[in-house]
Structure 1
Amino acid sequence: MSVRRERERSGLSLTALARRAGIAKSTLSQLESGSGNPSVEILWALGVALDVPFSRLVDPPKPDVRVIRAGEGPVMYSEHAAYAATLLASCPPHARRDVYRIAAQPGEPRTSQPHMPGTVEHVVLGTGRALVGPVDHPVELGPGDYVTYPGDALHIFRALEPGTSAVIVMEHV
């Protein structure tokens, strides 16, 4: 976890970052010490508060050629939905794009708070069916369908069939 590095880079105290992200100072302290197990919601809140892509908080340095097999990679789970995001690729410095593989099940949707201003999400559905996009007008997708929408507004991913999967590319402007 790179939360401490990014907090120190931004010049924020533990208290200031916890307040900005809307999380408990004790939770942030546990994350920085490596003893916490953050949800995807907490990591997104920290990324927005630090003005860095989510992936910068969780992705270790990588070699020139990297293969991530199905079922491998850093996985973050939602607290409120049957939704798991596996980081597949993050941007190198000065580039602003992250790639995630999503596995989701029907039930409670994954509702995402707005990301950094200018963020755009691109989704290609692999299997199943899902409602994806802005909360007020998501689009139903089937296998192979693509949608793009503003990631800096409230948005959802709701699996409509068991075993729904997708790839999400996030662009950070």
Structure 2
Amino acid sequence: MRHDGSVAEGRGTGDDRLGRRIRDRRRSQGLTLVALAERAGLSQPFLSQLERGLAQPSMASLHRLARSLGTSTPALMAEAGTDADETRVSLVRAGTGTTVHHDGGSTRSLVEGRAGLLPLEFTVTNPEFDDYYSHAVAEVLYVLAGRIEVDLGGDGRHELGPADCLYYGGSVPHRFRLVGAGPARVLVVQPGGPPARTGPEN
């Protein structure tokens, strides 16, 4: 089954830098548009639009692309922000950073380049759960504002508010949703390094 992010799903056009980074990784691995689209379960026309900055991916589509390219979503978003091979210092000011808009809100990378830590800021607006996600590395989730409910599958559900912090290990399925008035703002941090090996659980 093919899953497409779409222009309608995002709010505005895609991030040119993210599209270029996906294209560069694809070409460096000798993959055609058709081959990567098939590997990620996306349509070739959508992938072509994404690489040209004409479409915005859903987070599920971005996870599939990152996994198919041998990397993680946070790493792919961070690397889109710079051409540098290695990052010693990264400053991302308010309103900047590679950002993906989606039905559940938006996701912004808080670091640029290949870094040892990969923080993402989620603005959560959806009161409904999306698909579960899982990956090979652990995460720390910290609530900056608002309230969310985190579903860890067989490891339980937790309602979190400002300054609450939750850790879960690699391969633990997870998803979260807005609780009450929103939006909520959430910081999620992964270690850099090994790529994610699994993605959305459908």
- State how far apart, in whole Å, the 2-side matches of 1:87 and 1:110 are: 20
- State how far apart, in whole Å, the 2-side matches of 1:160 and 1:90 are: 31
User: Structure 1, unaligned stretches of length 5 or more?
Assistant: none
Who is 2:40 aligned against? 21
The answer to whether the Cα contact below 8 Å between 1:55 and 1:90 also exists between their aligned partners in 2 is: no
Alignment of 1:1-173 (within 5 A): 1=18, 2-58=21-77, 59-61=80-82, 64-69=89-94, 71-79=95-103, 81=104, 83-90=105-112, 92=114, 95=116, 97-115=117-135, 118-136=136-154, 137-150=156-169, 152-161=171-180, 162-172=182-192, 173=194
- State how far apart, in whole Å, the 2-side matches of 1:31 and 1:52 are: 18
SS in 1 for 2:162: coil
Amino acid at match of 1:166: V
The answer to whether the Cα contact below 8 Å between 1:111 and 1:157 also exists between their aligned partners in 2 is: no
Give the number of the structure whose residues are more often strand, by fraction. 1
Q: What is the CA deviation profile of residues 94-153 of structure 1, one whole-angstrom value per residue up to 9, with x for unaligned ones?
A: x4x3101111135222434333xx222210111222112523423221211111114534
- State how far apart, in whole Å, the 1-side matches of 2:149 and 2:37 are: 32
- State how far apart, in whole Å, the 2-side matches of 1:31 and 1:105 are: 24
Task: Name whichever of 12-21 and 60-69 sits farther off.
Answer: 60-69
Amino acid at match of 1:122: V
SS in 1 for 2:81: coil
User: Structure 2, unaligned stretches of length 5 or more?
Assistant: 1-17, 195-202
Q: What is the CA deviation profile of residues 145-171 of structure 1, one whole-angstrom value per residue up to 9, with x for unaligned ones?
A: 111114534321111132311110023
Cα drift, residue 55 of structure 1: 3.7
Q: TM-score, normalised by structure 2?
A: 0.70
Summarize the Cα distance change of 1:21–1:65 in structure 2 as closer, same or farther, 3 Å threshold: closer
Cα drift, residue 88 of structure 1: 0.6
Cα drift, residue 11 of structure 1: 2.7
- State how far apart, in whole Å, the 2-side matches of 1:131 and 1:26 are: 36
Task: Name whichever of 52-61 and 163-172 sits farther off.
Answer: 52-61
Query: Number of matched residues?
Result: 166
Superposed CA RMSD: 2.4
Amino acid at match of 1:170: Q
Cα drift, residue 87 of structure 1: 0.9
Q: TM-score, normalised by structure 1?
A: 0.81
Sequence identity percentage: 27
- State how far apart, in whole Å, the 2-side matches of 1:170 and 1:13 are: 30
